[in-house]
Each structure stands twice: as structure tokens, then as C-alpha cells.
């Protein structure tokens, strides 16, 4: 990321966003919890792109360079947490599962702004007690640096409705099936099939946030059927796409 801004205090606020609204690369001296209570937000860090419907938030530790972009009409709730006070979810970016109680705590903290009163600080501490990294499968598209993996991603991104196998993909990017398999394990930390599913879910969530139907999102993203897409979505987010994007 280039042109990185330093914003010492992580904002605590509620911000309505239009499709395409974004924050350019920046970092804070505070931790921050970023949550889209409606719509969908992409949060990009060095490790990859996190994508979050309203059952997930992103934990951004102090000093982490990040940027984000809204897809669809989105309401983002941001809560800054002083780094000297607490680090509830660790020192690396992480997904946080948002249950009904945590959702209301995030909204309340974001609405009140910076915790400048004893009451506001108590509320922030209650929120922090509820922030834990999610045990569910991560919804992140890992960054890739190897030229062959970059070419593979570009090829798949151009038409996710296609389902090339690893051997076919290797031929297209100039690598053997065995080499490509090794690169995925070493650089991405997952196998090709799991990585491709992450790409598909990421694109599908963007489409749903922009108003696309479940059926069309499933077809455009290469799922064999709408039911297969719903199953993959539920496995990732614990909810059906229809329940989140009606």
C-alpha cells in the first residue's frame, strides 16, 4: 500500500456510506473494531482482503496499515480502543463473530463517540469483554506475491463461473500441477479448492450487497447450484445469504 496516512486516534463513529466510498491506506496508534451493520465492507490489510456481512467485524490492531471500501449502501460502525488499555483480540488482524449483544454494544459505542466519560468507558470495557476472534472459518482472500499465483488469481477473477482444475490452471500460468499445489500451501496456507471457494464467496458477497439475487450470485461465481452456494455461505457465516441480504 502506498501513500499511507497516520491517523493517531482511531475514530469511534457511525458513518453512512454510498457504494464505492472508501478509506485510503492508513494506520492508527489505537486498536479499532470495524463493523458494517448493513451492506458490506471490504477491509484490506497486508495479509489479504477481509469481507464481512453483518455477522462479522474486523479487528484491526494498532499500527496495522489498512484500507476499506463499501459495497452497496453501507452503515459502518467503528470503535477505537486505546492500545495502552487493552488488546482483546491479539496483535494480528482477525475476524470477530458478532452476536446480538456484541452488535448492540458496537452500535452504542459508535454512537456515543470517544469514551470521554466514566459511563462511556464502562460501556467500552463491556464491549471489549465480548470481543474474541471468531472460531468459524476465516472469510479472507489471502494476498499472493508469486507471479504464478497472481496469474492464477487474475485468470479466475476474470470468470469465476468457470471451474478449471489445478492441472488446467497450472498449464495456463506456466507451472506444473505439483508446483502450483505447493505454492498454494506455502504462500496461501490453504489448498487450491479452499482458496477458490474464498474467491467465489468474496465475489458473491459483493454481488449480494449490490442487490443481486442468490440464484444469480451462485451462477456468476461458479457454484454448482443455489443450494451449494447457500451451504458454502452458511458454513462461512453461520447464516443463509437470504437472511442477511433480503
Q: Where are the domains of the chain?
A: 5-130, 144-244
**What band does 236 get if pLDDT is binned at 50, 70 and 90?**
confident
* Helix 226-237 × helix 192-209 angle, to 10°: 100
Q: Which residue has the higher pLDDT, 104 or 208?
A: 104
Q: Which residue has the higher pLDDT, 141 or 105?
A: 105
144-244 homologous superfamily? Homeodomain-like (1.10.10.60)
CA pseudo-torsion sign 27, 75, 98, 235: negative
Q: Which residue has the higher pLDDT, 133 or 241?
A: 241
pLDDT tens sequence across 29-82: 999 999 999 888 899 998 888 888 888 899 999 999 999 999 888 999 999 998
Instruction: Look at residue 187 and tell me whether its pLDDT is greater than 80.
Output: yes
Instruction: Look at residue 1 and tell me whether its pLDDT is greater than 60.
Output: no
* Cβ neighbours of residue 102 closer than 8 Å, sequence gap 6 or more: 57, 96, 127, 130, 131
Between the two ends of the chain, the Cα-to-Cα distance in Å is 34
Domains 5-130 and 144-244 in one fold: no
Residue appearing with cell numbers 496495522: 64
Cα-based angle 24, 99, 108 (whole degrees, multiple of 5): 65
Determine the pLDDT at residue 220.
Answer: 94
Determine the pLDDT at residue 246.
Answer: 62
pLDDT tens sequence across 206-226: 898 888 899 999 999 999 999
5-130, CATH topology level? Jelly Rolls (2.60.120)
Segment 17-39 mean pLDDT:
93
Q: Which residue has the higher pLDDT, 13 or 235?
A: 13
The answer to which of 2-6, 14-18, 118-122, 188-192 has the lowest mean pLDDT is: 2-6
Amino acid at each position: 500500500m502506498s501513500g499511507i496516512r497516520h491517523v493517531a486516534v482511531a475514530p469511534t463513529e457511525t458513518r453512512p456510506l454510498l457504494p464505492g466510498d472508501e478509506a485510503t491506506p492508513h494506520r492508527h496508534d489505537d486498536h479499532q473494531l470495524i463493523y458494517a451493520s448493513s451492506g458490506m465492507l471490504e477491509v484490506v490489510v497486508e495479509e489479504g482482503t477481509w469481507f464481512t456481512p453483518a455477522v462479522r467485524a474486523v479487528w484491526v490492531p494498532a499500527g496495522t496499515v489498512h484500507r476499506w471500501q463499501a459495497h452497496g449502501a453501507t452503515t459502518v460502525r467503528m470503535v477505537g480502543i486505546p492500545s495502552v488499555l487493552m488488546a482483546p483480540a491479539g496483535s494480528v488482524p482477525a475476524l470477530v463473530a458478532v452476536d446480538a449483544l456484541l452488535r448492540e454494544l458496537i452500535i452504542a459505542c459508535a454512537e456515543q463517540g470517544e469514551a470521554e466519560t466514566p459511563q462511556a468507558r464502562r460501556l467500552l470495557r463491556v464491549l471489549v469483554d465480548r470481543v474474541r476472534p471468531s472460531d468459524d472459518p476465516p472469510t479472507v482472500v489471502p494476498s499472493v506475491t508469486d507471479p504464478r499465483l497472481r496469474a492464477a488469481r487474475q485468470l479466475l477473477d476474470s470468470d469465476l463461473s468457470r471451474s478449471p482444475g489445478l492441472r488446467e490452471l497450472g498449464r495456463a500460468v506456466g507451472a506444473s500441477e505439483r508446483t502450483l499445489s505447493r505454492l498454494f500451501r506455502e504462500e496461501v496456507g490453504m489448498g487450491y479448492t479452499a482458496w477458490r471457494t474464498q474467491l467465489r464467496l468474496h465475489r458473491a458477497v459483493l454481488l449480494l450487497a449490490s442487490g443481486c439475487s442468490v440464484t444469480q450470485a451462485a451462477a456468476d461465481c461458479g457454484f454448482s447450484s443455489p443450494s451449494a452456494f447457500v451451504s458454502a455461505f452458511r458454513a462461512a457465516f453461520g447464516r443463509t445469504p437470504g437472511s442477511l441480504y433480503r
